[in-house]
Structure 1
Amino acid sequence: MKQLIKGFPTDFLWGGAIAANQCEGAWDEDGKGFCISDLHLYDPNRDISVPYESDLTLADVKKAMEDHDGYYPKRHGIDFYHTYKEDLKLLKELGLKSFRFSINWSRIFPNGDDATPNEAGLQFYDDLLDELHRLEMEPIVTMLHYETPVHLTLKYKGWVNRQTVDFFVHYAETIMKRYKDKVKYWIVINQMNLIHFESFNSLAFCVDQVDNIEQAKYQAIHHQFIATALVKQKAKTINPHFEIGMMVADCTASPETCDPDDVVFALQRNRHQYFFTDVSFRGAYPSYMLRYFEEQGIRIEMEDSDTAILSENTMDFLAISYYYSTTVSYEKNTMSPTSVTKNPKIKANPWGWGIDPKGFYYALSQYYDRYQKPLLIAENGFGMYDTLEDGKVHDDYRIDYLRAHLVQLKEMMKDGVEVIAYCAWAPIDIVSCSSQEMAKRYGFIYVDIDNLGNGSKKRYKKDSFKWYQEVIATNGTTL
């Protein structure tokens, strides 16, 4: 009989996660090219309660590339490109056993379609990986985290163009061969399902480059499915011990009421999220999505070999980011995942993200039951305005959030859900993905930089630092 798990395994990978575009800076150093995140201007007048819209036009892109007056926080990050040794030393003190980060595609291939890679970019990640191994932290590498080279947008319309698949696979093969003895866990593309939240960030095409935006989004996603499968195919020839995963952001919705219409509507909404994982783990397009495409007049262009590519190269593990839960109503909402109803049973942070640890348990259990594949918690964290006083940050709210979610993680693992790692987002403060703010902080380490890049850049340990340090040291028994 299978033995029940009582707690976290002894080899559990307690970790943290960041993204190159939000932390590295050095946006124009050592041969790096423009990536799409370098185009994000900070707007101090933006209403943070309104969902972020990432769609851009060609004029928006060109204006940002030529703008020398506005502040673009992701071009500067927290200067991790130059401070990574000091920052990793702090994270080692924190006790991290794993560290998830992304490789910036535009640092390796500045234009995306270059014939040969940029050696300076490759060497930077060699050095970073060597430092991680010296500090005994398991690297978890994301190949693409909103860092598609802008040249691919301007010349090829990003992921709408099938050629981008070839460029990406060439890039992926390059880094897998270069780091074949340094990296075991690879996440191919960050949060593939956020095509309605982070459209330009995810798919790298401008709205005025296509005639039908919805058609273009799903065509681009098809190309990402193919690229991911081809990466898996090549990975096993480079190092058979590689573990290749795909990643989604949880958008599981609960029905607002027990009205059958709400229940069925929530099911249909959730299927549109499972679509991404169904293709990646079952190796084929599900019938419910083919029906949706037919009803919406969406036609996906496929090559003859695509069916076999998808079916023969399914993923090894599922990486998930979880921050909040959503509720939907048949009468109030649409099929768009951005259309949700406020849940009166839970509290939210200033950005409207509902705090729901039980939703964490529910969503991840559903994914594991559906695929029976190992899960990797790629992101989970609490963004909040922190106050630095006398070198200290008292962030009990972050401790409360993380503790409650880790308790639920422990419960699902007792149920038999296999979890490889828990990567808190982000262990050190970095620029916010959606709002471009430094003030929306997640870290156990405070970085003294404000929304306009001002500050001493000094690092300070928050109260949550000591708390997470103890959680790791006791392997979660102190929860």
Structure 2
Amino acid sequence: MRLRYLYFVLCCQVLCVSGDPDAGSRTWARFLKLPYPEDEAFLYDTFPDDFMWSVGTAAYQTEGAFQKDGKGLSIWDTFTSAGNRGTGEVASDSYHNVHRDIHLIQKLKVTHYRFSISWPRIFPNGTIGSYNEAGASYYINLIHRLKRIGVEPVVTLYHWDLPDTLQRLYGGWSNPILADLFKEYAEFCFRTFGDNVKFWITIDNPFVVAWHGYGTGMVAPGIKGDPGLPFRAGHTLIKAHAAVWHLYDNKFRQKQGGKVSIALGSHWISPRKKSKENIKACQCSLDFVLGWFAKPLFIDGDYPTCMKKNLSSNLPSFTETEKREIRNTTDFFALSFGSVLSFQLINDSLKFGQTESLSLRMVLYWINAEYNSPKIFIVENGWFVNGNTKTEDAKNMYYMKRFIMETLKSIKYDNVSVIGYTAWSLVDGFEWYREYNIRRGLYYVDFLSPDLRREPKSSAFFYQKLIEKNGFPLLPENEPITGVFPCNFTWGTAANSIQVETIPSQFNDPNVYVWDKSGNKKPEKVEGVVVPLRKTRCGDYASIRYQVSRLHRMHITHFQFSLNWPSLVPTGNVSQVKTTLLLYYKCFVSELQRANVTPVVTLWHRTAQHSGLPAPLVKNKGWQNTDTVQAFVAYARLCFKELGDHVKYWITLNEPNIRDEQKTFLEGHNLLKAHALAWHVYDEEFRRAQKGQVSITLHADWVEPAYPFSRNDVEPANRVLEFRIGWFAEPIFGNGDYPQLMREWLQQRNNLDLYDYHLPHFTEEERKLVQGTYDFFALSHYTTSLVFEEVEEKTQYNTYLEVHFIPDTTWLKSPKRGAVVPWGLRKVLNWVKSRYGDVPIYIMSNGVDDDQTETDDKLRLYYMENYINEALKASVLDGVNLQGYFAYAFDDQSDPGFGLYGYIHDEFYIKLSLGHYRKIIDKNGFPSPTAPKQDCTLELYSCPGCSLFFTKKSMITFLSFIGICFVITVGLVMYYSKKPSKRYQY
């Protein structure tokens, strides 16, 4: 599959010829054609050996010392001093902490460090006549320290901190004279530092400088009002860069051997609806931001056509001589992408009615197509966290993971030449117009401590480990395995309920629906009512026959569904049972058996409207009232009695451990007692005759610590698992009481009796009643989430747990259930084993939602393939006693979007995933092509009690084997009966 995918991607790449006019416009169509969901799945691979790993800072954001050792004022010093603003006067004080920052860089194990030189620190008034030796010495010392630890400097000449004098005297970048002054400043830097610098960035993000410095006024120098001013400033910035590039090319390149570029920032934009007009609008949006500077410098020395059409007189023009001087004045493409530009500084006027999105991979592909396949160095990338966040920066860490993974896909799948990546930034600092309200550093800076203490964040540990491994190498646990499940493995599907509303009108006739399986011709009593025998088989009725035939087509061995308690016993009193519905259920389970499909029946399934209870019980406080417990036990006894001859697997309660804001711990206590009492009723009154098994299904989505580098992060995950699964599992499968962690946590929060977090206590009698009331462990599992300790903010859900749930942005997403994380299933299975030993486990429900209008449900197929493979790993590699797997859901009527059968316009259709599931069932897993075919006949013969679990295929093989043996035996008997005895022949 991987090879086919790479071939497809290569074909797509060939179709896009680099350098064509507007070649980047093919990007949107190209990404719509990529294989789904394989293309969106996480890529385990490594970067090229010579890939550059970098981290960066900007002078004004981190240096501080704004008037130290002769430094002049910058436009940012002036801009922030006006009004009640935060400033960079101290910032992270890197000027006085060079040794500490160098140590942090060394710990990260980066190969490159990007920093900017403060123009006013070297030339306080912006001209070479104001040379400040102390300022130059600071950067000489910094560069030498970097070289000593083996880190290459990437030096930015201008990162927004223009000498204030040049702004006041000349109007800053709106004046063409700045190009000459910038060239003089650059020449000094090349001459002074160039022997030790191989990568130069002339100007950082000229779009922000021009548009927001001289247009919107959001950043220094904060000028606004003149619609043509930003474009005049941009004009000067382009010419200044070109002049400096030629300067280096003519005077320094041969000796120093470095490369020069300009850092261009970009967002990404997607069409609201796929149309030529909308794609043109997306192209125009990128041209107004990235193309404004990239097209003149990388292509032809002129502005994009879209800008020239829309701006008319506001956009300056280049002479032919200037165009020749400007074009091709870059040695690589330096890209800035992330929170500084995307979603923050792009306003609606530059979106052209389209939708902004966050896709670094598509930006890289667009640049590659639009600008003749340049070598791309990502010189700034990252996200941000709240200013109050300290060392656990989950949001930043997972966005970084996503961006780096997209970079890897760009290299491996899209054939884009990305040569380096720069995480932004090394330390927390002054964040421009957002001041100190956000943090972007890999290292936390305590701005209130006297020494501005630095501490590594989770993102620092992540980036360090990533660099060490050079990407995301494929580990053995990431790879699928080949193998098969045991011969007695159960394959099933699950539904919330069968569609009882389709009961035909004939079921209202009590003369039709009683059958005599024993041959007894006498009428039968049902709930005290004498009902004549019927003369027709249940399977003769279309509604049942149709449902059973669809199940039979799946090749499953078991079908799990829920009875409808409110419909079956509307008043809650079993003396007033709806006989019609009861007979329908009896018909249904008997016909399942005739089709060799074993029914697995759930007695109670919570529904949103009525909590799955009869209305009178709901009005009487539902599960908070012990009367409901007794009503449930009576209802269970009725079901065992009437259906038990055809049902060998019972689920008392389905997912009672799902807790919402309305469910109290008292309800959970009563649900546990209801389950236990029903189990004992079956065990004492019906098990001997019916020989069935009873248990409870627990919702068991996995939770993973959000910060795998901190021991402290394991505790919140354990807390969630105890409250989510252990709440019901420990009393039943464990010691008969609630988890100790759960009880201690709630007791701590009840000291002042301010919260209703009281966990009931089991009496000794109740403990004995509940403990051990299971025949197997049934769980439902759909997804995995990340969790960490909640500090600053409270979440709406599970506030009493004081945890925060977040997604990993690299995980595949489904429309409803959330992330597709197959390895989470294996982890939860091992968790159950570690807690409760060799208990038989059934995955009673596992599935994902997909577009229910599509027969080609590729996400579900991917989900099923990978989740079942993880189940196989748990069985084969980990020794988990896994007995069965049930795919959820049977059809879209059971749960829209989850079905293996679709449902459109009142008609069912078969989805692609159903056929795939059937193939897995027929093969009993994922056998190796070279392995001998699994033979279950011997195991079946030695284990006659296992026959209930076997697939039809195994049963047919076994019966064929027995038939052959019988024929051979009869033949031998006949042969030897006719042949003379050898004893009398001499």
| TM-score greater than 0.5 by the shorter chain | yes
Q: Secondary structure at the match of 1:321?
A: strand
Give the distance between the partners of 1:115 and 1:306, measured in 2 at CA.
Answer: 29
Q: Answer yes or no: is the 8 Å Cα contact 1:394–1:463 preserved in 2.
A: yes
Match of 2:308 among 291, 301, 322: 291
Match of 2:239 among 195, 203, 226: 226
Give the distance between the partners of 1:112 and 1:334, measured in 2 at CA.
Answer: 35
Give, in angstroms, the shift of residue 336 of structure 1.
2.9
Give, in angstroms, the shift of residue 458 of structure 1.
0.9
Q: Secondary structure at the match of 1:120?
A: helix
Tell me what 1:112 maps to: 126
Tell me what 1:38 maps to: 77
Give the distance between the partners of 1:226 and 1:16, measured in 2 at CA.
Answer: 28
Percent of residue pairs bearing the same amino acid type? 27
Residue 364 of structure 1 pairs with residue 364 of structure 2: yes
Match of 2:137 among 99, 110, 123: 123
Q: Answer yes or no: is the 8 Å Cα contact 1:24–1:79 preserved in 2.
A: yes
TM-score (norm 2): 0.40
Give the distance between the partners of 2:161 and 2:283, measured in 1 at CA.
Answer: 33
Question: Matched residue pairs, number?
Answer: 420
Residue 469 of structure 1 pairs with residue 459 of structure 2: no
Deviates more, 1:464-473 or 1:138-147: 464-473
Give the distance between the partners of 1:102 and 1:144, measured in 2 at CA.
Answer: 7
Tell me what 1:20 maps to: 59
Residue 196 of structure 1 pairs with residue 205 of structure 2: no
Q: Judging changes above 3 Å, is the alpha-carbon distance between structure 1 residues 263 and 304 closer, same or farther for their aligned structure 2 residues?
A: closer
Tell me what 1:173 maps to: 187
Give the distance between the partners of 1:426 and 1:442, measured in 2 at CA.
Answer: 6
Q: Secondary structure at the match of 1:244?
A: strand
Higher relative contact order (CA 8 A, sep 6+): 1
Higher percent of residues as helix: 2
Q: Map Cα deviations across residues 132-173 of structure 1 (whole Å, 9 max, x no partner).
A: 101111111111001111111111011111111111100001
Match of 2:274 among 236, 254, 258: 258
Write out aligned runs for 1:63-462 (5 A).
64=82, 72-194=86-208, 195-199=210-214, 207=223, 213-236=226-249, 237-240=251-254, 241-273=257-289, 274-286=291-303, 288=305, 291-292=308-309, 296-298=312-314, 300=316, 305-311=321-327, 314-323=329-338, 335-336=349-350, 356=358, 359-371=359-371, 372-385=373-386, 393-414=391-412, 415-437=414-436, 439-449=437-447, 457-462=452-457
Q: Map Cα deviations across residues 232-266 of structure 1 (whole Å, 9 max, x no partner).
A: 11112213312011111112321222254433322
Match of 2:48 among 9, 29, 53: 9
Give, in angstroms, the shift of residue 465 of structure 1.
2.0
TM-score (norm 1): 0.80
Give the distance between the partners of 1:165 and 1:219, measured in 2 at CA.
Answer: 12
Give, in angstroms, the shift of residue 15 of structure 1.
1.2
Give the distance between the partners of 1:133 and 1:285, measured in 2 at CA.
Answer: 39
Q: Answer yes or no: is the 8 Å Cα contact 2:213–2:221 preserved in 1.
A: no
Give the distance between the partners of 1:289 and 1:123, measured in 2 at CA.
Answer: 46
Q: Map Cα deviations across residues 317-369 of structure 1 (whole Å, 9 max, x no partner).
A: 11111116979xxxxx85435x87666xxxxxxxxxx6x3xx11001111022
1:167 partner letter: L
Give, in angstroms, the shift of residue 182 of structure 1.
0.9
Unaligned 5+ residue runs, structure 1? 42-62, 328-332, 344-353
Q: Judging changes above 3 Å, is the alpha-carbon distance between structure 1 residues 290 and 362 closer, same or farther for their aligned structure 2 residues?
A: closer
C-alpha RMSD of matched pairs (Å): 2.8
Give the distance between the partners of 1:37 and 1:466, measured in 2 at CA.
Answer: 32
Q: Answer yes or no: is the 8 Å Cα contact 2:378–2:421 preserved in 1.
A: yes
Give, in angstroms, the shift of residue 220 of structure 1.
1.6
1:477 partner letter: F
Q: Map Cα deviations across residues 265-318 of structure 1 (whole Å, 9 max, x no partner).
A: 22222222313101111141146157336x53225265774233213x521111
Q: Answer yes or no: is the 8 Å Cα contact 2:426–2:443 preserved in 1.
A: yes
1:228 partner letter: H
2:94 partner letter: F
Q: Answer yes or no: is the 8 Å Cα contact 2:183–2:244 preserved in 1.
A: yes
Q: Judging changes above 3 Å, is the alpha-carbon distance between structure 1 residues 113 and 411 closer, same or farther for their aligned structure 2 residues?
A: same
Give the distance between the partners of 2:221 and 2:90, measured in 1 at CA.
Answer: 24
Q: Answer yes or no: is the 8 Å Cα contact 1:148–1:204 preserved in 2.
A: no
Give the distance between the partners of 2:429 and 2:380, measured in 1 at CA.
Answer: 14
Q: Map Cα deviations across residues 350-403 of structure 1 (whole Å, 9 max, x no partner).
A: xxxx6x3xx110011110222211111111112102666xxx722333222111
Give, in angstroms, the shift of residue 431 of structure 1.
1.4
Q: Map Cα deviations across residues 206-231 of structure 1 (whole Å, 9 max, x no partner).
A: 637xxx72322212211111111111
Q: Judging changes above 3 Å, is the alpha-carbon distance between structure 1 residues 206 and 74 closer, same or farther for their aligned structure 2 residues?
A: closer
2:393 partner letter: D
Q: Answer yes or no: is the 8 Å Cα contact 2:214–2:222 preserved in 1.
A: no
1:280 partner letter: L
Q: Map Cα deviations across residues 27-51 of structure 1 (whole Å, 9 max, x no partner).
A: 001111111121343xxxxxxxxxx
Q: Judging changes above 3 Å, is the alpha-carbon distance between structure 1 residues 158 and 198 closer, same or farther for their aligned structure 2 residues?
A: closer
Give the distance between the partners of 2:332 and 2:368, measured in 1 at CA.
Answer: 10
Q: Map Cα deviations across residues 394-420 of structure 1 (whole Å, 9 max, x no partner).
A: 233322211111111101011321122
2:445 partner letter: V
Give the distance between the partners of 1:326 and 1:26, measured in 2 at CA.
Answer: 30
Q: Answer yes or no: is the 8 Å Cα contact 1:252–1:326 preserved in 2.
A: yes
Q: Secondary structure at the match of 2:350?
A: coil
Q: Secondary structure at the match of 1:247?
A: strand
Q: Secondary structure at the match of 1:434?
A: helix
Q: Judging changes above 3 Å, is the alpha-carbon distance between structure 1 residues 74 and 258 closer, same or farther for their aligned structure 2 residues?
A: same
Give the distance between the partners of 2:451 and 2:195, measured in 1 at CA.
Answer: 38
Give the distance between the partners of 1:225 and 1:182, measured in 2 at CA.
Answer: 26
Q: Judging changes above 3 Å, is the alpha-carbon distance between structure 1 residues 304 and 364 closer, same or farther for their aligned structure 2 residues?
A: closer
Q: Answer yes or no: is the 8 Å Cα contact 1:153–1:204 preserved in 2.
A: no
Q: Answer yes or no: is the 8 Å Cα contact 1:101–1:141 preserved in 2.
A: yes
Q: Answer yes or no: is the 8 Å Cα contact 2:266–2:286 preserved in 1.
A: no
Q: Answer yes or no: is the 8 Å Cα contact 1:158–1:204 preserved in 2.
A: no
Q: Judging changes above 3 Å, is the alpha-carbon distance between structure 1 residues 455 and 265 closer, same or farther for their aligned structure 2 residues?
A: farther
2:237 partner letter: Q
Q: Secondary structure at the match of 1:197?
A: helix
Q: Answer yes or no: is the 8 Å Cα contact 2:79–2:222 preserved in 1.
A: no
